[in-house]
Structure 1
Amino acid sequence: MLESGNLDEADSLFSSLGEKYPDNAGFIYRTGLAKEKKKDSSAMDYFFKTVGLDSTHQAALYKTAKYELTHRKPHNAIQLSSTGLRSRPNNASLLSILGQSYLATLQFEEATKPFERLLELGEGSEFILERLASAYRRSGQTDKAIETYNKMLELDNMNGMVHTNLGALYLKKDDTRKAQEHFMMALFIKNQPADAEYVNLGLAYKRKEDFRSAYISFQKALEENPENERAMIELALAADAHFKDKNAVLELYQDFVKKYAENGRKDMLSVAEYRISELKKEIHLAK
């Protein structure tokens, strides 16, 4: 009846069976399915009741774990999916929920395990790879993150987000050549404001002490987004390292302090204020 679309009839039948056999998890679950198909909000009550009757019921565990995850109760989702995996360790749906729940609770190293198992089971979708790469990146496993993001590029080489993340990871490893390649690719792909990519590219040039190219990149970032605080302070720092005109550099720092004095990052403001003080001394002594 469920399959044929007779939802009211199915709901009535399984509700009756559930009342007659209240300990039968199968009847309770199918009542929930009928109500779910009817978009009846009480469906979840039946799925949770199913789990209470049968802690190994895989379909009910998946529905309840997914519900808890999407309703911002990831710790409950971890418990439910882990319960199901004890009886069926290779349940791909529950492994995915478990990995996502660990990410949601910032347990990044734990999150890698279910996603790694999914790859072993042949579940190498872009969705799984992206979350595994994120877990590796956020748990400090840089090389594994790079390897996983590169697997994503094998599926779609025009994924700008992947190129941006690879650029940041290579920059972390001081491989500025590869970092620049990926940041440039991300810029090529993007059709939206690309200030973050220009900032990253500027930082890569800065790492190589190519301050002129860094300055140009930070300028482009500000053209894309004049409110990018990091781009503005980095522009002043690049100018400070490259320009001979101390007055022009001083003006860049002063502009930054004027714009962000009330709500800017304190560490950036401290750098700017220190350089303003030093530059004023240098300009005075040069007179």
Structure 2
Amino acid sequence: MSKIGLIILLLFVSKVEAQTSALAVSDSLYAVGEYDKAIAALKEISPKSEKIHLKLAKNYAANRETEEALFQYKKVLENNQNRVLTAVSYGELFMKAGQLKRADSVFRALARQYPKNARFQYRLGLIKEKQKDSTAIHHFMFTIALNERHQGALYKVAKNKLQNRLYTMAEHFSKMGLEVNPKNPSLLSILAQTYSSLKLYKEAIPHYEKLIQLGQESVFIYTKLGFAYYREGNYKDAIKMYKNALQIEDRSSDTHYTLGKLYALTGDLDKSETHFLMAILIKNQSVDAEYLSLALTYKMQEKHKEALKYFNKALAENPENERALYERAVAADNYYKDDKAAINYYQDYFNKYENIGNAGMLSRAKNRISDLKKKMHLAEK
């Protein structure tokens, strides 16, 4: 080999080693969540192979730089349309970004190319579901026709049948999925709810119990199981389930009310009275503070329309909430272009609290009324 050939070979080997080292560094950085640094390392590599572009896409996606990630995927697919997994990642990123039409286009192309692939039909169903398109169920059914073991599609179809009160079909598709995976909590829940809807509480109970054994503890599951026990005359276990529900959410008027009835049935009238009183107390409690807090959150986000809506809700709950009345005027001031409307809101607050209200809020309201009136007067000249 000539000296020139040897030099070229050594330079090539050196370049390959440098790229390999840069890739190893970027992989390590990705593994610890240092996506910016991983991207910087990958961008230094030149020329960029498909592998580099895919690693860039992966890092950009993890770093929530969606458009950059999509650009890298597109670059790869423009040069090699046969990269199916890359196309899948491309389509799924469109879905995640809410670009549903473009996601639909990607998965439709894949479904045409691979008509027997259940995964692509399922993705099309998910896209249609996000678009509130009723044809989603057809894609889920098609998925099952291609793969009758597909857990996601079986759940979607079983849930749809339950919602539409087609209980026999809901039971059928739930059982199909559970034959493959008896511990699928989603399908267990659909089957249990189906039996509850049919008032077949004895059949529903084992499935609710299994959900709890699998760690699926929630107010919904506990109250559903509690009600099934209650209808089967098992008041002791029913009480236990409703008490478990209260451990998760203790401000439920309905749960306290049901416990009141159950304790009455067992003859424990003191506890029955306690829970009935709690149910009444919770139901009668005003939630103006919660509405006010939510409205103030919207105010900080400068979502003035939403803020105005929830200040009104707070006042509907408690017309004597001074802060809500003042803040409603501020929200109206920011939302409405009509200065006269804003003045009216401030005036409502000022008139009600002029002699008894918060001095700071009253002063701000008075000054703002004055400023708005001057503004209107100047506009008329």
TM range (shorter): 0.5 to 0.7
CA distance in 2, matches of 1:100, 1:225: 31
Offset at residue 172 of structure 1 (A)? 0.8
RMSD of Structure 2 on Structure 1 (CA): 4.1
Instruction: Note if contact 2:218-2:245 (Cα within 8 Å) is conserved in structure 1.
Output: no
Structure 2 gaps, min length 5: 1-18, 24-41, 61-67, 289-381
Q: What TM-score, normalized by structure 2, do the two folds share?
A: 0.50
Count of paired positions: 239
Residue number in structure 2 paired with 1:77: 103
Change (3 A) 1:263 1:180: farther
Between the two proteins, what is the percent identity of the paired residues?
16
Write out per-residue CA displacement over residues 24-78 of structure 1, whole angstroms, 9 at most, x where no aligned residue.
Answer: xxxxxxx5x5411344633521544688999999666533321121223445423
Pairing of 1:142-153 with structure 2 (within 5 A):
142-153=167-178
CA distance in 2, matches of 1:145, 1:197: 18
Instruction: Note if contact 2:149-2:180 (Cα within 8 Å) is conserved in structure 1.
Output: no
Q: What TM-score, normalized by structure 1, do the two folds share?
A: 0.63
Change (3 A) 1:222 1:123: closer
Q: 2:128 aligns with which of 81, 98, 102?
A: 102
Instruction: Note if contact 1:137-1:145 (Cα within 8 Å) is conserved in structure 2.
Output: yes
Instruction: Note if contact 2:159-2:190 (Cα within 8 Å) is conserved in structure 1.
Output: no
Instruction: Note if contact 1:211-1:238 (Cα within 8 Å) is conserved in structure 2.
Output: no
Change (3 A) 1:254 1:11: farther
Residue number in structure 1 paired with 2:53: 35
Q: 2:248 aligns with which of 222, 225, 229?
A: 225
CA distance in 1, matches of 2:101, 2:144: 24
CA distance in 2, matches of 1:68, 1:239: 54
Q: 1:212 aligns with which of 235, 241, 244?
A: 235
Write out per-residue CA displacement over residues 3-34 of structure 1, whole angstroms, 9 at most, x where no aligned residue.
Answer: xx9788997366xxxxxxxxxxxxxxxx5x54
Instruction: Note if contact 2:154-2:176 (Cα within 8 Å) is conserved in structure 1.
Output: yes
Q: Which has the higher contact order (CA 8 A, sep 6+)?
A: 1
Secondary structure of the 1:12 match is coil
Write out per-residue CA displacement over residues 113-155 of structure 1, whole angstroms, 9 at most, x where no aligned residue.
Answer: 2232223223624344334434444454433332222123222
Q: Does 1:178 align with 2:196?
A: no
CA distance in 1, matches of 2:47, 2:114: 32
CA distance in 1, matches of 2:47, 2:163: 49
Q: Does 1:202 align with 2:226?
A: yes
Instruction: Note if contact 1:202-1:213 (Cα within 8 Å) is conserved in structure 2.
Output: no
Letter in 2 for 1:89: P
